[in-house]
Amino acid sequence: MRTLLCLLWITSLATLVVGDAAAEERRAAPPLTATLLDGTRFALTEQVGKVVVVNFWATWCAPCREEMPAIDAFYRKHREAGLEVVAISLDEPRDLAAVRDVMRGYGFPAALSAHAKFRGYGRIWRVPMTFVIDRRGRLRDDVTAGLLQVDSELLERRVAPLLRP
């Protein structure tokens, strides 16, 4: 009985979290600016017309590192269709070398959270967290709301449809 009650509680909580994300999925995306690892500037306001995936991660986060190859493959496959990906690392500035080392193998840009402004995305208290912004600059999805790990199938199902003209 205790297991059943626990399962019902977890299911209710997941429904609540997913429901909250669905209710907010069409609001304007919160502002996001960052100085990328290569020194260039990223501003979400300059990405109108593109679908943007914002991934919060850290070098010490094993699930983050596991999903990054899928994000990179999806980015390489769809960037010509108007996809942009930006990874915001929650690592400390003193860990910049480790962040650069991890990002060396990926085609999408990254920034340290210390060099980014993203207040409207809520408290980023767990990673990975991934948000999807549509071509009109609206927050369309928090793909981690249901505590899902990002993989190729999830990206194809949730992000690819937004890339269609």
Q: How far is CA 142 from CA 105, 127, 137, 152, in A?
A: 25, 12, 14, 16
What pLDDT was estimated at residue 22? Answer: 46
Q: Which pLDDT belongs to residue 91? A: 97
pLDDT for position 124:
84
Question: Which pLDDT score, from 0 to 100, does residue 20 have?
Answer: 43
Q: What single letter denotes the amino acid at residue 51?
A: V
Tell me which residue of 64, 57, 34 sits closest to 47, measured CA to CA.
34
The tokens describing 73, both together, are 């493959």
Domains of the chain: 2-163 (3.40.30.10)
Per-residue pLDDT of the chain (165 residues; tens, 9 = 90+): 443 333 333 333 333 334 444 444 468 999 999 999 999 999 999 999 999 999 999 999 999 999 999 999 999 999 999 999 999 999 999 999 999 999 999 999 999 999 999 998 888 878 999 999 999 999 987 766 555 688 999 999 999 999 998
Q: What is the pTM of this model?
A: 0.81
Task: Give yes or no for a contact between 32 and 56, defined as CB atoms under 8 angstroms apart.
Answer: no
Predicted pLDDT of residue 86:
98
* Whole-number pLDDT of residue 100: 98
